[in-house]
Structure 1
Amino acid sequence: MADPLSLAVLSASITGLLMRGAAVAVDPSWSSAASLPGEALNAWRSLRRLQQGRGGQENPL
């Protein structure tokens, strides 16, 4: 079973990414669009940490 804190961080990252994408769709200014790659990278890192589990072993999720 995945760590609840890891799931919370992952869901917050994905939610932030979706909200930023919606903001760019409404107002495509440079500052909003420039932050998208960083947020996507944070969501990816959270997902990788969740998959690795504790001790660097693959999580059988």
Structure 2
Amino acid sequence: MKQLSSSEACTRRDGLRAQAKAQHELAKQYHPAHPSVIFNKQYFAKLDAENTTTKTT
């Protein structure tokens, strides 16, 4: 099995969160139980929660 790339992290670092999240969703279709996919799911959930908190204050 091919190891997943860290494209989500790279594009996130460049400020392209929408693209990073799209790449994550694509990876999730192929390897939903992969540790990177699970980590990124939690990571994006945390970012979304922080954005929601920031926008409401």
Normalising by structure 2, we get a TM-score of 0.44
TM-score, with structure 1 as normaliser: 0.43
